[in-house]
Amino acid sequence: MRVVICGPPHSGKSVFVQGLVANLPRYSYYIFRACPDGEGTWTWRSPEAAAFRRKGRFTPEFVDWCCRALRRAREMARVVLVDVGGRMSEENRRIMRECDAAVVLSGDPAQIESWASFCRECGLEVLAKVRSDYAAAEDRLEGEYPVVHRLERGEDVSGRPVIRAVAQMLLEKAGITEERREKMDLVKDGVLSIAGLAEALGKQPVERVEPNGRVVRQVVWRGDDLVEVSRLLHNVSGDLPEHVKVDGPAPGWLVAALVHELHPRAVSLNSPDGYVPVGCQRPAGAGAGPNLVFEVSPGSGGWTVVECRQADPSVPLSPGDLEKVVPPEVPFGAKVVLSGRMPNWLVASLAMAYHGRAKAVACFQPGVGATVAWTHSPDVALGSVIDVVPLRAPGLAGAAVEAAAKAAGQAAGAAARWPVLER
C-alpha cells in the first residue's frame, strides 16, 4: 500500500512521517521521498547532518524516476510512505497517481478539503485529514479534523495520540494485525526458524510423492515466496542480533536468499555438523578449496554457470574448510548460476562471495531451473526461475563443444543433467 503524506508547506509533514514510522514495525514500512529537496528526517538529527540539506527542482527526469520507482515500490514493504512536495502541481499529480491512498496534513484548516479533493482526483483513497497546530498544547482526536500539536523538528513526536492512531490505521489497512505482527517477529533468541517463516507467510505442509513412491508431508517453497520474504526482512538487519542462526530444512536458493536479506549480520546455518558460520574467501582465479573442483562456463541468456563438485565424493565436505574455499572469479557485473551437489552452508557462502561483484545469483535445481536468490538488477526479478542452458559442456573442446551446445539447446531435458543443489 503506497500512502501519500501530503498538504501545504510548513505543516510538519516530515516530522509527522518521523513519528509515524516510530510506531510501525521496521519490516513493515519504507519511506519514499518524492520531493527533490533532500530534507528527509535524517537531516535534522544533528547540526552536522543539517548541513547536507539541498533544495532541488521537480525536473521531468526526477518525476519520471519517481513514477517508475513507485510502480515497483510494493516490493519494498507493505506500507510505503510517500513524502511529496507541498503544492497541488502537475508534477505531484503524476506522482500521486502511482499511489493508493493519502493522509492529508495541513497547518491551515481552510486547505484541508482542497487537498483532499486533489487526492481524490488522483484516484487516492483519503484515509485521514489531520490539522497541524503548532501552538496547541495537546493532541485532540475528536472533532471534524483531529489535531496534532507542535510538530517540531528534532523532537520525539511518536507518542502523540493522533500519530499513533494514524499508524494503527495504516497497519490495519495493510493487513498487519497483532497476530500477524507476532508471527512476523521471526528472529527469536537469535534464531530464525524456517518453520516460523513458513507460518508467517501462511504456508501449510502439503503431501508430495517422491520419485521412490514414498508420500511425504512438507512445506513446498516456490521462488515467488522470496518477494514476501524480502518484504519481511528487507532493511531490518539493524534491529537484529549481531549473529543470526537459521534453523530448519530449506532449499539452497531460499537459504542463500535469507543470508542476503540478513546481511550484514553474521549468519550460521544448522546442519548435521551443528551451526556453521556462512562465509568463505572472495572470488579469485580459477577457484580452489579442499576436495572441491570449480568450473566456469557460459550459459544462455548471458548467465555465467559456476559448477562446484567434490573431487572425491567419498570424502565428506567439512565446514572447517570453509575459510579455505576460494570461488572462481567471474566478470564484474555477471549474472551467476551456482550448480552442484553441496550442503546449504556452502551454497550460501558461495552466493554471498559474489555479493558486490555479480549483479544476481541464482541456484540451479534439475527439472526446475535456476531460482534467483538475490538480485541487484532491475532486469532480473527476485525469485524468478531462469531456464539456463549450458553453452559449453565440461571437458570438451573445439568441435565437441559446439556439438554439445547444439545438443543442449535441442534437448528439453538437457538442464536436468546438471547436479542438484542440496536441500
**Cβ atoms of residues 33 and 4 within 8 Å:** no
DSSP symbol at 296: E
Residue 175 backbone class (left: φ over 0; alpha: ψ -120 to 50; beta: rest): left
Sign of CA dihedral 40, 42, 45, 48: negative
CA distance 401 to 419: 19
Of the segments 24-28, 229-233, 315-319, which one has the largest average pLDDT value? 315-319
Q: Report residue 337 as a C-alpha cell.
A: 548460476
Of 167-181, 229-243, 403-417, the least confident? 403-417
pLDDT of residue 415: 31
| In contact, 146 and 127? CB cutoff 8 Å | no
Residue 49 has pLDDT above 70, yes or no: no
Q: Which of 226-240, 325-339, 358-372 bottoms out in mean pLDDT, i.e. has the lowest?
A: 226-240
Percentage of residues of the chain with pLDDT beyond 90: 61
pLDDT of 313 above 90: no
Question: Does the pLDDT at position 352 exceed 70?
Answer: yes
List phi, psi (to 5°) of 302. 80, 10
Q: Does the structure show a pLDDT above 50 at 249?
A: yes
pLDDT digits (tens, 9 = 90+) for 202-220: 898 888 787 777 777 888 9
Rounded CA gap, 37 and 255, in Å? 39
Q: What is the pLDDT of residues 149-182, one digit of tens each?
A: 999 988 999 999 999 999 999 999 988 766 455 5
User: b/e string for 312-345 if b means 16 or more Cβ within 10 A?
Assistant: eeeeebebeebeebbbbbbeeebbbbbbbbbbbb
Q: Grid coordinates in use for 75?
A: 516490493
Give the domains, in start order, of the chain with CATH numbers.
2-178 (3.40.50.300), 205-417 (no CATH)
Q: Average pLDDT, whole number, for the chain?
A: 85
- The letter for the amino acid at 94 is R
| Mean pLDDT value across residues 53-80 | 80
Q: Is the pLDDT of residue 103 over 90?
A: yes
Encode pLDDT of 379-403 as tens digits: 999 999 999 876 654 443 333 333 4
Rounded Cα gap, residues 230 and 232, in angstroms: 5
Q: Is the pTM for the entire model greater than 0.85?
A: no
pLDDT at 54 over 80: no
Closest-CA residue to 190 (of 230, 234, 142, 247) = 247
What contacts 35, CB < 8 A, 6 or more positions away? Answer: 58, 83, 84, 85
